Amino acid sequence: MMVDGRPVVIDESRNPGLPNTDYILFVDASNSQLCQSGLSAYATVCQIDTLMDRKNFTREHFGCPTLDGVELESQGAAETASSHFEKRLFLNELMTGSSSFDKIVSPLILSYFQDTGGQSFFPWCNEVNPNKTACLTYANAYGTCGLDKWPMRLPKRYQYFQSIPGVPDDQVAYYGGGDPLVDFCPYWTSDAWIVNVSTTFCNHEENTKFKGQFLFVYFLPGI
């Protein structure tokens, strides 16, 4: 059972429930205008997503400070209804219930990832692992963390870390972003060249399947 977005485990039913039935009625409710704190349930569905970043974004986006949350999809099969954002409101957002070539990643989508803890929308990173990839928040691409070890200690104002996973403390001052033009800030960056080779941009025309693909992409035998 979910109450105000938090899972609650019920050990036993404290009320008669529904007579002549073999189940307990579970209610998924949030503290909205219809779901007040003193109300157990009402005869409709709370089809909204009330986590804070998304709620704050939609209030600002629609200019309505009293919105309770993001309306969820009311149509479609079980894997679509109530598990995507309402397409009537958000059209070609990435997480609406149908796909199209013009899908966009908006602040709403970024707030979703921020709320759920799946991925921060900030581009900065502290990974010293050339084989670890992640989707970029600023482009339709994937890439690696551009954190490198320099041959000299970086100037104090460019030393951004007190510690880095897997790096001895006395070596941390040597680590920074690979591009001095961004003041040695490490961020998730794509792999791209001007020459006609594959890149990590998802819509790049050179990114076709071929043997010897080396940009972190692997295919099963026979593909």
Partner residues linked to 72 by β-bridges: 85
Residue type, 20: N
pLDDT for 187 beyond 90: no
If pLDDT is split at 50, 70 and 90, which confidence band does 23 have?
very low
All residues at 6 or more sequence positions from 117 whose CB lies less than 8 Å from its CB, including other chains: none
Q: Is 61 annotated as a binding residue?
A: no
Q: Which long-range contacts (CB under 8 A, 24 or more apart) does 43-51 make?
A: 47/71, 47/72, 47/74, 47/82, 48/72, 49/85, 50/4, 50/5, 51/5, 51/115, 51/116
What single DSSP character describes residue 24?
A: P
pLDDT of residue 68: 76
Q: How confident is the model over 140-169, as a mean pLDDT?
A: 90
Least reliable range by pLDDT among 28-32, 58-62, 67-71:
28-32
Mean pLDDT value across the chain: 71
Topology (CATH) of 122-223 = Leishmanolysin; domain 3 (2.10.55)
Q: How confident is the model over 13-31, as a mean pLDDT?
A: 49
- The domain spans of the chain are 122-223
Q: Which residue has the tokens 């990839």?
A: 133
Top pLDDT among 175 and 46 is at 175
pLDDT of residue 223: 41
% of residues, the chain, pLDDT over 90: 11
Alpha helix (H) residue ranges in the chain: 52-62, 87-90, 107-116
Provide the whole-model pTM.
0.42
pLDDT of residue 210: 52
Residue type, 123: P
pLDDT of residue 1: 44
User: What is the β-pairing status of strands 175-177 and 134-135?
Assistant: unpaired
